[in-house]
Amino acid sequence: MRIALFADIHANIHALDACMRHARERGATRLAFLGDLVGYGADAQPVVATIAAEVAQGAVAVKGNHDEAVDESRSYFNEAAQAALAWARTSLAPEAARFLRELPLVVHDGPICFVHASAAAPERWDYIDSPAAALQCVDAAGASYTFCGHVHDQVLYFGGATGRMNAFQPKPGTAIPVRSHRRWLAIVGSVGQPRDRNPAAAYALFDATREEITFFRVTYDAQAAAARIRACGLPESLAYRVELGI
């Protein structure tokens, strides 16, 4: 079974469509959405509608901090992010807003734990930005595989012999063997707002049968996504971040 892992979609329907097509062409039979479906981008409604339809057919989805903030305003977002959230509140249909509100923070499924930020305290939205943070997360997750987002860059953490976690920078397109007797934490990268100066959308594909994970970068029409942001009157910075991948 191959599970496609999509995180930080951020209301970018152009990127999400491209990644879902890419994953299905590579045999994805199950989809998992790892939070932050909305925020920053212009197309919250089509993104949430697409994901809700997939969840109705068995896909996994968890809540991100931007999804939470649609309902409960948070002061820690910057001005541009606040503007995008305000836009999401007005553009989301009531059932889409309800879908976001009812998303779980964590989903456990056999050897896998799906979460947006850290499984250690998912509601605190802590960033996994070090092997120590990764260790806290996998200790709390209690699973062979923890898949998450929140941090927009792709990283694979793996458990070593001493019990610590080690960070590895995956090469897109390489199928990495991830045997289940070790603990693995994959930060799958951002579909809708990559920040490593490469505008290509990021996601990962986990093959549960072969115990392999492959990280991907997918080129899509970032100009179109940026044009939608401008057309909706959102701050210019959100548009060029998508165009430039920053």
Find residue 115's DSSP bridge partners.
106
Stretch near other proteins under the rule CB under 8 A, chosen from 34-42, 59-67, 89-97, 173-181: 173-181
Stretch that binds other proteins, among 38-46, 66-74, 175-183, 187-195 (CB under 8 A): 175-183
Q: Please list, residue by residue across 32-53, b when 16 or more beta carbons sit within 10 angstroms of its beta carbon and e when fewer do.
A: bbbbbbbbbbbbbbbbbbbbbe
Candidates 72, 181, 209, 233; binder of other proteins (CB under 8 A) is: 181
Cα–Cα distance, 197 to 56 (Å, whole number): 35
> What minimum distance in Å lies between the beta carbon of 159 and other proteins?
10
Number of residues in contact with other proteins under rule CB under 8 A? 15
By beta-carbon proximity to other proteins, the closer residue of 174 and 223 is 174
Best CA proximity match to 186, nearest among 41, 74, 49, 34: 34
Q: How many C-beta atoms surround the C-beta of residue 10 within 10 A?
A: 30
Element containing residue 182 per DSSP (H, E):
none
130 is a contact residue toward other proteins (CB under 8 A): no
Among 164, 219, 224, 231, binds other proteins (CB under 8 A): 164
Which secondary-structure segment (H or E) carries 69? helix 65-71
Query: 52-56 — which CB contacts under 8 Å span 24+ positions?
Result: 52/95, 52/96, 52/99, 55/99
Contact 242, 235 (CB under 8 A): no
How many Å apart are CA 195 and CA 200, to the nearest integer? 10
160 is a site residue for other proteins (CB under 8 A): yes
Contact with other proteins (CB under 8 A) among 170, 189, 199, 245: 170
The DSSP code for 200 is S
Q: Does 171 bind other proteins (CB under 8 A)?
A: yes
User: Rule CB under 8 A: is residue 74 a binding residue for other proteins?
Assistant: no
Piece in contact with other proteins (CB under 8 A), picked from 26-34, 111-119, 144-152, 169-177: 169-177
Distance CA 71, CA 181 (A): 40
92 or 178: CB nearest other proteins: 178
- Member of 24, 86, 104, 168 binding other proteins (CB under 8 A): 168
The residue among 15 and 156 lying less far from other proteins, judged by its C-beta, is 156
- Residues that bind other proteins in the complex, under the rule CB under 8 A: 156, 158, 160-162, 164, 166, 168, 170-171, 174, 176-177, 179, 181
